[in-house]
Amino acid sequence: MRAAVLELPSRQATACNWCREHKMKCDTGQPSCRNCRTRGIECITTDLRHPGQIGRRREPVGRRGKRNIIEQRSSPFSLGLRQESTPNTVSVSSAPPSPTEKVLVPMIGQETPLPSIFIAPFGGEEQPCRVAEVAADRAQRPERPSRSVASLSSNPGPDTTQRSNIALITDKSRSRCQIIGGGCDSVYLLVQYLDLLFAKRDFWQPLFPHFHQGLAYSMEVPLPFGTSLPDFPPPSNIDEYLFVFSSRVYPIYPIVERDSIYEIVDRLRPMVASNSLALTAKDYPQLACLYSLFSASADELAGHPTNVSTSYLEAAYSLYGHLVAVPYATSVQALLLLAIVLRNRNKEGASWEVLGQAIRIAQSIGLHRALSPPNNPIIMIDGSDVVGAADLASRLWWTAYILENTMVLERGRSSAIRQEECDQIFPQPVRPPHLPGRRFDYFGALIRLAQIQNLIIQLFHRKQTRTTKEILHEMGRLDRSLLDLAATFPEDIRPGHDIFCPPEEFPLATYVTLSYHQSLIALHRPALTSHTTWLRSRVSHLCAGTPWRSRLRYSLCIGAASARAILKTYNDMTLYSNGSRLTTLNPLMLATMTLSIYVTKIPSSLMNGSDLAMVLAFTESIEQEYLNLGQDAEFVKGLILLRKQLNEHVASTSLLHKPDIARQGPTVLPRYGEAPDEPCATSIDMGFDLDRLDGAWPSLWADGLNNLFINDNDHDMLNGFLLGLS
């Protein structure tokens, strides 16, 4: 078999013979470059290292080959090169081939590009317009000869060449829609993966359509017509609100100062009480700051959204247009506070929009740049020059930076911040005012975490071509950075360890710990959605001699351990303190989906029972919280289905995979100087070099799982193998 592999034509990356002979630029198109295609000649590339052999360029196996299928359909010269199937003549084998020597070796040796494996989740129910487009496109194309394989059943629409990995999220009303790209929401991606994993199981009902129904609650902020500004709370309530804000929110997001709030309240209270027309354009951003602060503090004090806090939120949001019309630093303060309040209520979509506007204004007035000398800073506040506000400008910018990277990591959308354009200095350390003995700077720790999150985002969302080795090595370096960051925390609040700080500090430590473990899960997410044994074998081979080799081999376990840590830390916070609205439901959703995949991929784990119990308990708690917030009942039904179906699956497989500890022999430790055995690294025997799959695996992470579908043909089986679906 090794000799057969060596006879395969080598992959070419140089210009073709015709372009090289005529001194013309070759676009290295697949399977024919543009120059050869327009002239109707065969595009041949001679291997310069082996002149006696003729090779043709072909893309590595993976999803990117779909582009070539579309190009060939639109080209008149491709009719003689490829024969495509019609819907009525496609034949599918009754038993899908397994990813072994018989399937993978011929596929790698052929030049046929591979289509997607999940073109549109549940497209028949959720996207009827897509079916109509495809039918119209097929009706306009001439009849073509049939093929005997199902490699063209990827259902490409007319616009697929430009948007091959875009998914439309819409609810049952059809009047709301949202387009998400390849790097979609981490929770969305894991839900999609679960549906792919159980796509051929009769008992499994898809979960992803139910998650579409949360769109309205996430994006919309209902406002009553003709909203009037509510009166300020009494002075005693303001004192209570400011204490809660300074102790619970300010150490994480130091946006406003306590003393300045009292001055603004004293000046604006009589104007608001009398409905005075004396309010000027510069007063509206300050009003929005106050109402947002009151709303956040009231929610934090009560532990849940209240009618009082809702009235303050509506008042702040009704001033949104005034904030955009007065683009100064106070407007940035108000928008950041408003984004925090919306995020605390799990309205991530609306919070994202407000945060984006805050970043735009901050960039327009230069808050992202260190323009002023450190000894004599002058920036614009409320349209006037204010001396000594450089540290406030720095805190505003870094607060926006933290929120942006956190939400990009959660939502998967493109960031509005360009890292190379930002040179803002770090602010002074922010100490919790209610903890005089504590010297730890939570805000500074979150800034450093956000910088690592930005690198994680670039690793999995940028479109540059990278090899499997490059991705694994970068994952190892970022994992080391996260470990080094955790080591700078005091022992009683260190991420990855139990928290045993004072109760009044517990919400702060919980928030940072959950953000840390979210980053770990995001970094090690490929292990959750890849073939476990194959990935471990590649880590053992490609990361040999590196300090991160051992940890990357157990990336799946690291993700599961971080998920358990999120759920345990949140539970400890509810037990030992009053909780905090800063801790949203997103980390809990991510943790439950991570453990759901883990108990499915590792059925022999002795911890599956406890992991399943955690998933069941916390999804039930999440359901109740979403219903209390007013989330759509269909969205909640997806969590109910997850509990029911996962419980059924684990119960049916637990007896089959239950390990027999009594029969296991004693563990033999290697002698000094010998390397331990690694069965996982050598347990895959496919009869060909595994390096040939390294070109396909990276393409699965830049695009996500939006436009993939499962099909029983050879090409899809290979992608399914890489994703751990077969």
Are 453 and 407 in the same domain?
no
The rounded distance, in Å, linking the Cα atoms of 118 and 707 is 5
Residue 169 is assigned to a structural domain of this protein: no
Asked if residue 393 is part of any domain, the answer here is yes
- Look at the block and give the residue holding tokens 């052999």: 53
In this structure, the answer to whether residues 389 and 482 fall within a common structural domain is no
Residue 464 lies in a domain: yes
Query: 638 and 531, same structural domain?
Result: yes
Please give the C-alpha separations between residue 611 and each of 515, 600, 705, in angstroms, as whole numbers.
Answer: 21, 11, 25
Do 414 and 447 belong together in one domain?
no
Integer Cα distance of 57 and 43 in angstroms: 9
Of 628, 655, 682, the last residue of a domain is 655
- Has residue 545 been placed in a domain? yes
Please tell me whether residues 273 and 380 are part of one structural domain.
yes
Q: What's the Cα-to-Cα distance from 699 to each of 114, 197, 217, 466, 694, rounded to whole Å?
A: 12, 19, 33, 9, 10
Range of the domain at 415: 235-421
Residue 148: per-residue pLDDT: 28
* Cα three-residue angle 177-181-185, rounded to 5 degrees: 85
Q: How big, in percent rounded to 5, are the helix, strand and coil portions of the chain? A: 55, 5, 40
472 and 400, same structural domain? Answer: no
| Residue 292 domain-assigned (yes or no) | yes
Domain C-terminal end among 421, 453, 473:
421
722 belongs to a structural domain: no
The gap from C-alpha 655 to its chain's centroid, in whole angstroms, comes to 34
The span from the CA of 229 to the CA of 211, in Å, is 35
**Which residue in this structure is represented by tokens 């051992």?**
550
Local mean pLDDT, 10-residue blocks, the chain (726 residues): 44 71 80 81 76 52 41 35 35 37 41 33 36 39 34 32 54 70 70 87 88 87 80 92 92 89 90 80 92 94 91 93 91 96 93 94 90 46 50 92 92 79 88 79 95 89 76 94 95 92 91 96 91 90 93 94 96 89 93 94 87 94 92 91 91 66 45 42 48 72 62 62 76
Quick one: pLDDT at residue 31?
A: 79
502 and 410 within one domain: no
What one-character-per-residue DSSP string does 606-636 give? TTHHHHHHHHHHHHHHHHHHHHHHT--HHHH
- Count of structural domains within the chain: 3
Give the pLDDT score at 117: 30
State whether 332 and 454 are in the same domain: no
Q: What is the DSSP letter of 245?
A: I
Between CA 23 and CA 413 the distance in angstroms is: 42
Whether the Cβ atoms of residue 535 and residue 696 lie closer than 8 Å to each other: no
Q: Is residue 93 part of a domain?
A: no
Q: In this structure, what CATH number is given to the domain that contains residue 14?
A: 4.10.240
Residue 546 covered by a domain: yes
In angstroms, rounded to a whole number, what is the distance separating the alpha carbons of residues 523 and 489?
A: 20
Predicted TM-score (pTM) of the model is 0.76
Is 446 found in the same domain as 348?
Answer: no
Beta strands in 330-454 (DSSP E): 378-381, 384-387
| Distance from C-alpha of 696 to C-alpha of 715, rounded to nearest angstrom | 11
Rounded to whole angstroms, the Cα distance separating 61 from 109 reads 10
- Does one domain contain both 625 and 495? yes
d(CA 451, CA 429): 17
CA of residue 229 relative to chain centroid, distance:
38
Check: CB of residue 621 under 8 Å from CB of residue 551.
no
pLDDT at 184: 53
Residue 565 and residue 618 in one domain = yes
Residue 205 C-alpha from the chain's centroid: 24
User: Is 504 in the same domain as 381?
Assistant: no
Amino acid at 5: V
* Among candidate residues 602, 632, 655, the one where a domain is terminated: 655
